[in-house]
Amino acid sequence: MCVTLAFHYARSCGLRIETPDMKRTPPGPIATNLNVLLVGTLLALSIAPVVASWFKQRNMPTSMHPEALISIAFVAGVVLVLIGIVRPLYRAYQVREESLLTLEREHRALTARNRQLAHQVCIDGLLGITNRREFEQRLSREWQRAIREQHPLSLLLIDVDHFKAYNDSYGHLQGDACLKRVAQALQEAVGRSGDTVARYGGEEFAILLPNTDHYGSLDVAQQVHESLARHAIPFADSSCSAFVTVSIGAASMSPGHRDHGHDLIRYADKALYTAKHNGRNRTEAFLPARLVASSKGHDQRAASAAPQTHLHDKRIA
Ligand SMILES: Nc1nc2c(ncn2[C@@H]2O[C@H](COP(=O)(O)OP(=O)(O)OP(=O)(O)O)[C@@H](O)[C@H]2O)c(=O)[nH]1
């Protein structure tokens, strides 16, 4: 047993007794203090007879008897050693707490960074609105929801008129600034938190309108024309207006299981093509075989006095 104890004690001192070179590793705090206690006791015992004879030679009073002094010194030593054990343990506890706090801080920073990255993945870097990738995902989600809840779903595809000419006249940087203001105007035009304004391509935008029917989508399209007119972004070379205008293709569906989300994009794209073809700065709506409608956009040159109206086709109302 003594051998086993000695073996464990030596190991706690950091002696790798199983390796031939007896290499040392740093001793733990308890072993260090046991060493101090051991050396202190041996020292106290070895000098005790010397101190005792010195006291006896000088006939010191009983209260100063060397055995009493040695006992006091020994107790003080034990207390010191105990403090020596408690301190490193407390320090180890503190270090552990600090590392836990650091871990927690790092975890919080990572979570925030992840959230930021997830946000960046969904957002267009230039315009700060939903990007194409996220738009496609939302379209798919809203499409499924519309099927489940039997709600209509509408889409506006919006293209800035003659934007190539705008870039040519004002330069690319001004073109970027113009797109930012158009994005802002679109966001101001939508009312519901569930609506999504996205950049669909270079100067093309999309607005997804859940639970919105054909007439609701035309209302929003009209809001878009009006909001952009309020921004009044000058465009001297435009053939449509003195200000930047957009053409809008609107499509609405009450999706069934056999339809596909991309049908909505296809219909809105066709309507947008028609809007361009019919002179731009207007909304055209495409509704498969049942509804066809159009509304004229806002022309600051000619129509500032004329309120914009939807031209709903009475045949399909
Ligand atoms: N400044 C800027 N220009 C862009 C950006 N993305 C696309 N464009 C430009 O937008 C222009 C689009 O031109 P077109 O597709 O010919 O269409 P358009 O001139 O708007 O003509 P219509 O759509 O027929 O009215 C191109 O010149 C692109 O370079 C962008 O992020 N910033």
Mean pLDDT value across the chain: 80
- The pLDDT confidence band at residue 191, using thresholds 50, 70 and 90, is confident
Mutation choice for ligand 1 from 160, 164, 241, 278, CB with most ligand atoms inside 8 A: 164
- Residues annotated as catalytic (active site), given as ranges: 203
- The pLDDT confidence band at residue 50, using thresholds 50, 70 and 90, is confident
Protein fold of 132-316: Alpha-Beta Plaits (3.30.70)
The mean per-residue pLDDT over the stretch 145-162 comes to 95
Q: What is the pTM of this model?
A: 0.66
Number of the ligand 1 atom closest to the C-alpha atom of 276: 24
> 170: CA distance to ligand 1 center in Å?
13
Number of the ligand 1 atom closest to the C-alpha atom of 161: 25
Beta bridge partners of 248: 158, 283
Q: Look up residue 18 and give its amino acid.
A: E
Mutation choice for ligand 1 from 163, 167, 237, CB with most ligand atoms inside 8 A: 163
Segment 193-206, tens digit of pLDDT: 999 999 999 999 99
- 130 vs 317, more confident: 130
Segment 67-101, tens digit of pLDDT: 666 777 777 777 887 888 888 899 999 999 999 99
Based on its alpha-carbon atoms, the radius of gyration of the chain, rounded to whole angstroms, reads: 42
- 132 vs 53, more confident: 132
Q: What pLDDT is attached to residue 235?
A: 96
> 144: CA distance to ligand 1 center in Å?
33
Q: Looking at ligand 1, which residue's alpha carbon is closest to its atom 27?
A: 164
State what percent of residues in the chain have pLDDT above 70. 74
Segment 255-312, tens digit of pLDDT: 877 778 888 999 999 999 999 999 999 999 986 554 444 445 544 333 322 223 333 3
> 69: CA distance to ligand 1 center in Å?
97
Segment 217-266, tens digit of pLDDT: 999 999 999 999 999 999 998 888 999 999 999 999 988 777 788 889 99
How far from each other are the two terminal CA atoms of the chain, in whole angstroms?
100
Asked if the model's pLDDT at residue 18 lies above 60, the reply is: no
Q: What pLDDT is attached to residue 127?
A: 96
Number of the ligand 1 atom closest to the C-alpha atom of 167: 1
Beta bridge partners of 158: 205, 248
**What is the domain partition of the chain in residue ranges?**
2-121, 132-316
Q: Give residue ranges with CB within 6 A of ligand 1.
A: 126, 159-165, 167, 172, 175-176, 179, 202-203, 276, 280
> 314: CA distance to ligand 1 center in Å?
35
